[in-house]
Amino acid sequence: MQPTSHAFKENAREALGNANLQKALTLMRSGFPERRAAAIARLPEFEALREEAKAIKNHVLEHLDFYLETFEQQVTARGGQVHWCRTPQEARETVLAICRRLDAKTVTKGKTMIAEEIALNDYLEENGVTPVETDLGEYIIQIRKEYPSHVIAPAIHLVKEQVAASFRATHTELDPNRRLEDAPTLVAEARAVLRQKFLAADVGITGANFCIAETGSTIIVTNEGNGDLTQTLTKAHIVLASLEKLVPTLEDVSTILRVLARSATGQEFSTYTTVSTGPRRPEDTDGPGEFHVVFLDNGRSAMLGTEFQDMLRCIRCGACMNHCPVYATVGGHAYGWVYPGPMGAVLTPTLVGVAEAGHLPNASTFCGRCESVCPMKIPLPKMMRHWREREFEKQLSPAAYRYGLKLWAFFASHPPLYQAATALMTRLLGWFGGPRGRFRSLPLAQGWTQGRDMPAPEGRSFMSLWAERRKNGDAA
Amino acid sequence: MPPVPIRVGLFVTCLVDLFRPSVGFAAVKLLEDAGCSVEVPAAQTCCGQPAYNSGDKADAKTIARQVIDAFDGFDYVVVPSGSCGGMIKQHYLELFADEPAVYQRAQHLAQRTYELVSFLADVLKLERVEARYDGVATYHDSCSGLRELGVKHQPRKLLASVTGLSLKELPGAEICCGFGGTFCIKYPAISDRMVADKAADIVATGADTLLAGDMGCLLNMAGKLTRLGKDVRVRHIAEVLAGMAGETPPIGAGRPERG
Amino acid sequence: MSEARDQILGSIRRSLKRGPLEETQRAGLEQRLAAPRRNLVPARAAALPHAAQIDLFLKMAEEVQTTVMRVARVGDVPAAVADYLSQRNLPSRLVMTPDPQLDDIPWGDRPMLEIRRGRAEDRDQVGVTACFAGIAETGTLMLVSGPESPTRNNFLPETHIVVVRGKQVVASYEEGWTRLREKAMPRTVNFITGPSRTGDIEQRLELGAHGPRRLHIVLIDDEAAS
């Protein structure tokens, strides 16, 4: 799937008119914030933990080469293998090569954003390997051929009728007259269908919320248990991870885990937090025979040492989009690619280019709510502004807009000129605003006046009134 | 000898200057009543935020330097806006991080700069105002004031002292109204939806008055409420705290007939 | 592959404007890894006496739809398990891990429990396991893989019953790690907090997404009364 971020405005317009999506977003916009607030109210140390989590990740980023090397040593010592991939293509080929060597027909997948980022599923299918998403939300969007619309709840944009329709269209071996009206039935059907896939799969692919240098372990965090069935029942466990997932020790990851679930869903801890270290041991009676960690760079190493480095602290909790007032109106698909919401607005231009994704960091009011809830204290609005600076340098914004700003800046840096012009404008607009005191429509402001009135100025500028009063001796 | 009054430079902000001078005069009254002497440097226009948020650092710096120069020498600089206040108090420092000489002056300015209600409550330690306003008001927390300058309890505290006014908390008070400066121009459909949601929350409180501390938010919300035909009086909090609400029609509500 | 590795590490170093770390720096970092230190541990459980930690453990577990039962002695466990299953009309046929921690339980006292010791299969509806620790802070079970505790036993059966001893309950994850470091790191460490669930359909909580629909703890109060 190609990114459609360049069409953000059109995507957004569609989203605003999509009744099912709006219904889902209404639920989301109060639900997640309330649950998060309740969870952190129960943990007095939450703010201190945020600071520690930020410090741990900053330390890792400053020494990322060391931690990656150490991690690799540990993985290798336990019989696993680390693969280094610079690009999505290298990562895809690496995964396919493992699957081919093991003669894999189907692979089950736990939720991994990296797999979306490298478009792994299409590639595997083209090459004769069938990938099956097992996270329920990912499974639903897989059969609908959509992008995830949220980093932890990929199918949040859908209502159950849409899910039922997709199940009917896909699970054709089941009785077409069966009832699929409610969530429990849908979940039960997914459980049954996917259980068979788990048992039949040759290879299991998961992501990694964290990679622990101390032990060469990877961690996944799920509520369903799908990631566990994916990695336990198969011949090989392949972990897809971007470089910045490193964390030094088991204690360090415990700190970050404490802020993760609470920020994401308001849970104290996710249902399944699983630490995987190497392949099965010789004496084990289950577990994968092989353990592979596929590291993807795809621009991460280049982000280090730049004004975007802080973005590498992201742990993909989704709190930012859960609290974003823009996301709450348009949902995740409007952003046009894998990563939506505030974190997507910062990350996507890095990965697909600012020409493609320029709208994303612009479609923000900089309200700052994202930054205030980010467990890793990432300054998201600041980095969106950096993207705007890069765009300005490249003159990527529309000409009319740039000229308007230039004009404003010119007047603003010449106060006497500004004050003469504004004294006149305010009189005119105040007069035209008439007794009603507002404009129903205003040339050059159609975007505003389509849905809102524009209140009229009072008719004089403050500076001209103040100057008058001073002259008349009224003011100090 | 009488104590030397605190010398305040008022940064009136472009939206107050152009759309609602009454707010500027209300701010002056509040400051003078609290014992400050207020001056309004002539060489002020804009804080530079539109340029800054559009990625135009050069123009933002030009305008910011102008502000730094114009407000040199005051004990405090007071701004009836969280958005412009935040620009001066926080973002000027980011802007001049690469120019040590100007950075120092920006830092000195930032230390002296306050949003109006925060200045009254936090610096002047005002506990109450002498004002009357009959009505049920609900208060919207403008984003910059809230998150950059910590303006939250101060307006509520001072409003609680206004005779005749009862305050009804706005559900989602901290959610952005959709103005966002350049945002409402670039993404008007999304902005309109955001303000529609905000208007629904406001109307649901049953309040007859909406107050906030930022003209951008107020113009946005007032424009939506009047378009929807809702009978909610929208004012800047300064007007109510200064007891001057009777002197001007609410925002977007028109002039009374002159007889 | 090693070309990619070198390039990636090189790119990292270039971005950080340095070469590979010097020996003293490496040694410092290695030391930090060899002797991991705890960060801030919340007081919630850590500040409690052990008996209260057990209470907290069970309370937090119940909050996430785990059912719990306390028994006074090892000998009470078979009845507790049998009653749990019959009350819910669940099969009395169960798969039990070969975990030695389950060996001293007199399962023969309840002969209607048909027990197979071994690795779980898809047909198994009820599974019984022991655990490595219980984390009081969030009502979390810590289980480790091994020849006597295959990981799939925690996930395949629809009903998962875990026998926990009071002395296995610790305050925090950090204490779990300290205990685990006394052995070799296993292939899998599972932290389990409640039964499997999803909110993926209209944000409604449904249990039993892929893992167990029911999680039941039988806790043996093996601490001497204080």
Give the best residue of A16, A366, A465 to mutate against chain B (max B CB count within 10 A).
Answer: A366
Please check whether residues A187 and A72 belong to one and the same domain: yes
Residues 6+ apart with CB under 8 A from A96: A123, A124, A127, A129
| Distance of alpha carbon C166 from the chain centroid | 14
Q: To the nearest whole angstrom, how far is the Cα of C129 from the nearest Cα of chain A?
A: 15
pLDDT at C226 over 50: no
In chain C, helix, strand, coil percent, each to 5?
35, 25, 40
Whole-number Å distance between alpha carbons of B189 and A9:
9
Which residues in chain B are contacts of A390 at CB distance < 8 A?
Answer: 55
Of B116, C124, B48, B21, which is closest to residue A463 (Cα–Cα)? B21
Chain A residues close to C134, C-beta within 8 Å:
none
Q: Domain containing A172: what range?
A: 43-302
Count CB pairs under 8 A between chains A and B. 214
Please answer whether residues A206 and C188 qualify as being in contact, where contact means their C-beta atoms are separated by less than 8 angstroms: no
Structural domain count of chain C: 2
Cβ-defined contact of B62 to A364 (cutoff 8 Å): no
What pLDDT does A99 receive?
98
Strands C114-117, C93-96: parallel, antiparallel or unpaired by DSSP? Answer: parallel
Q: Which CA distances in Å does A342 have to A158, A372, A378?
A: 21, 12, 10
At C70, is the pLDDT very low, low, confident or very high (cuts 50, 70, 90)?
A: very high
Residue C133: enclosing H or E segment and its boundaries? strand C133-135
> Within 13 Å of residue B224, how many CA atoms lie on the same side as its CB?
26
Does C133 lie in the same domain as C22? Answer: no
- Partner chains of C (3+ C-beta pairs under 8 Å): A
Long-range contacts (CB closer than 8 Å, 24 or more residues apart) made by A392-399: A392/B54, A392/B55, A392/B56, A393/B55, A394/A354, A396/A354, A396/A355, A396/A358, A397/A358, A397/A362, A397/B54, A397/B55
Q: Are A463 and A419 in contact (CB under 8 A)?
A: yes
Give the model confidence (pLDDT) of B158-210 as tens digits.
Answer: 999 999 999 999 999 999 999 999 899 999 999 999 999 999 999 999 999 99
Tokens of A346: 């910062």
Residue numbers in B near A440 (CB within 8 A) = 227
- In what helix (H) or strand (E) does residue C96 lie, and over which residues does it extend? strand C93-96
Share the mean pLDDT of chain B: 96
Contact A428, A459 (CB under 8 A): no
**φ, ψ at A236 (rounded to 5°):** -140, 145
User: Phi first, then psi: what are they for C86, rounded to 5°?
Assistant: -70, -35
Polymer length of chain C: 226
In this predicted structure, what is the pLDDT of residue A446? 86
Rounded to whole angstroms, how far apart are CA atoms A18 and A440? Answer: 27
Looking at residue A476, what is its pLDDT?
47
Backbone angles phi, psi at C94, to 5 degrees: -140, 155
Last residue of a domain, one of A269, A302, A335: A302
Whether A105 and A220 share a structural domain: yes
Residue of C2 and A16 predicted with greater confidence: A16
Q: How far is CA A126 from CA A121, A123, A131, A338, in A?
A: 9, 5, 11, 20
Does the CB of A267 have a partner CB in chain C at under 8 Å? yes
- Note whether C81 and C169 are same-domain residues: yes
Domains and CATH numbers, chain B: 6-122 (3.40.50), 128-247 (3.40.50.11810)
d(CA B16, CA B14): 6
Task: Give the span between the Cα atoms of B78 and B67, in whole angstroms.
Answer: 13
Instruction: Tell which wins on pLDDT, A425 or B52.
Output: B52
What region, left, alpha or beta, does residue A97 occupy, with left being phi > 0 and alpha being psi -120 to 50 degrees?
alpha
Q: How many CB atoms lie within 10 A of CB A16?
A: 17
| C195 located within any domain | yes
- Cα of A82 to nearest chain B Cα, Å: 41
Torsion on CA atoms C30, C32, C35, C37, rounded to nearest 10: -160
Q: What is the pLDDT of residues C116-150, one digit of tens each?
A: 999 999 999 999 999 999 999 999 999 999 999 99
Check pLDDT > 80 for residue B212: yes
- Residues C84 and C188 both lie in one domain: yes
**Domain at A140, CATH number:** 3.40.50.10420
Question: Which residue does chain B place closest to A430, by CA atoms?
Answer: B19
Q: Does A33 reside within a domain?
A: no
Question: A82 — phi, psi (to 5°)?
Answer: -110, 135
Residue A66's SS3 state is: helix
Tokens of A318: 């989704």
Asked if B223 lies within 8 A of A448 by C-beta distance, the reply is yes
**Among C2, C60, C147, beta carbon nearest to A268:** C60
Q: How many domains does chain A have?
A: 2
Decide which of A267, A302, A337 is a domain's last residue: A302
Which residues of chain A neighbour B251 with C-beta distances below 8 Å?
A: 455
Q: Is there a contact between B79 and B113 (Cβ–Cβ < 8 Å)?
A: yes
Alpha-carbon Rg of chain A, whole angstroms? 26
Please provide the distance, in angstroms rounded to a whole number, between the alpha carbons at the two ends of chain A: 66
Q: Confirm or reject contact between A392 and chain C (CB < 8 A).
A: no
Give the nearest chain B residue to A365 (CA atoms). B180
Same domain, C82 and C10: no
C9 within a domain of the structure (yes/no): yes
From chain A, the residues in CB contact with B197 under 8 A are: 329
Indicate the SS3 state at residue A134.
coil
Q: Give contacts of B40 with chain A, Cβ < 8 Å.
A: 462-463, 466, 475
Write down the mean pLDDT value for chain C: 96
Per residue of chain A (476 residues), give pLDDT as tens. Answer: 789 999 999 999 999 999 999 999 998 888 999 999 999 999 999 999 999 999 999 999 999 999 999 999 999 999 999 999 999 999 999 999 999 999 999 999 999 999 999 999 999 999 999 999 999 999 999 999 998 899 888 999 998 999 999 999 999 999 999 999 899 999 999 999 999 999 999 999 999 999 999 999 999 999 999 999 999 999 999 999 999 999 999 999 999 999 999 999 999 999 999 999 999 999 999 999 999 999 999 999 999 999 999 999 999 999 999 999 999 999 999 999 999 999 999 999 999 999 999 999 999 999 999 999 999 999 999 999 999 999 999 988 888 888 989 999 999 999 999 999 999 989 888 888 878 889 988 887 888 999 999 999 999 999 999 999 988 875 44
Q: Taking chain B, what is the end-to-end CA distance rounded to the nearest angstrom? A: 49
Q: Are residues A99 and A246 in the same domain?
A: yes
Instruction: Classify residue A325: in a domain, yes or no.
Output: no
Asked whether residue C47 falls in the same domain as residue C29, the answer is no
Measured between beta carbons, which residues in chain B are less than 8 angstroms from residue A362? 183, 186-187
d(CA A434, CA A456): 8
- The minimum CA-CA distance between C187 and chain A, rounded to whole Å, is 5
Are C127 and C84 within 8 A, CB to CB? Answer: no
Q: In sequence order, what are the residues at sequence separation of 6 or more whose Cβ sits closer than 8 angstroms to the Cβ of residue B252? A: A437, A438, A453, A454, A455, A456, B219, B222, B223, B225, B226, B234
- pLDDT in the model for residue C225: 42
- Residue C63 inside a domain? The answer is yes
Please indicate if any CB of chain B lies within 8 Å of the CB of A454. yes
Q: How confident is the model at residue B246 (pLDDT cuts 50, 70, 90)?
A: very high
Residue C209 to residue A192: CA distance in whole angstroms: 9
Residues 69-128, chain A, touching C (beta carbon < 8 A):
69-70, 78, 83-86, 90
Which of A452, A458, A463 is best to mutate for the B interface (most B CBs within 10 A)?
Answer: A452
- Order of all β-strands in the sheet with C93-96: C66-71, C214-220, C159-165, C126-129, C93-96, C114-117
Query: Is residue B257 scored above 50 in pLDDT?
Result: no
Query: Quick check: is A178 in a domain?
Result: yes
One-letter-per-residue 3-state SS of A224-243: CCHHHHHHHCCCEEEEEEEH
In whole angstroms, give the CA distance from residue A325 to residue A346. 16
| pLDDT recorded at residue C217 | 98
The pTM of the full predicted model, rounded to 2 decimals, is 0.96
Instruction: Tell whether A137 is covered by a domain.
Output: yes
User: A213 to chain C: which residues are within 8 Å by CB?
Assistant: 33
Note the pLDDT of residue B3: 76
Say if residue C116 is in the same domain as residue C191.
yes
Under the banding of pLDDT at 50, 70 and 90, the label for residue B258 is very low
Q: List the 14-53 stretch of A: residues with Cβ below 8 A of C.
A: 24, 27-28, 31, 43-45, 48-49, 52
C48 and C19 in a common domain: no
Whether C23 and C130 map to the same domain: the answer is no
Identity at A66, one-letter amino acid code: F
Chains B and C touch (3+ CB pairs under 8 A): no
Q: By residue range, what is the domain housing residue C71?
A: 42-220
- Answer whether A437's CB lies under 8 Å from B255's CB: yes
B25, A462: Cβ pair inside 8 Å? yes
Q: Is C196 in contact with A272 (Cβ distance < 8 A)?
A: yes
From chain B, the residues in CB contact with A438 under 8 A are 223, 226, 252-254
Q: What is the pLDDT of residues C9-46, one digit of tens each?
A: 999 999 999 999 999 999 999 999 999 999 999 999 99
**Which residues fall within 8 angstroms of residue A209, CB to CB, at 6 or more apart?**
A219, A220, A221, A245, A260, A315, A316
Tell me, what's the pLDDT at A442?
A: 84
**Which residue in the set C1, C13, C36 is minimally distant from A65, CB to CB?**
C13
Of A253, A276, A302, which residue sits at a domain end? Answer: A302
What pLDDT, on a 0 to 100 scale, did the predictor assign at position B256? Answer: 55
> Which positions in chain A touch B148 (Cβ < 8 Å)?
368
Q: Which positions in chain B touch A424 (Cβ < 8 Å)? A: none
Give the pLDDT of residue B2.
67
**What is the per-residue pLDDT across A277-288, written as a single tens digit (0 to 9) for each?**
999 999 999 999
C225 within some domain: no
Q: Does A456 touch chain B (CB under 8 A)?
A: yes
Say if the Cβ atoms of B254 and A457 lie within 8 Å: no
In angstroms, rounded to a whole number, what is the distance separating the alpha carbons of residues C131 and C139? Answer: 13
Judge whether A273 is closer than 8 Å to chain C, CB to CB: yes
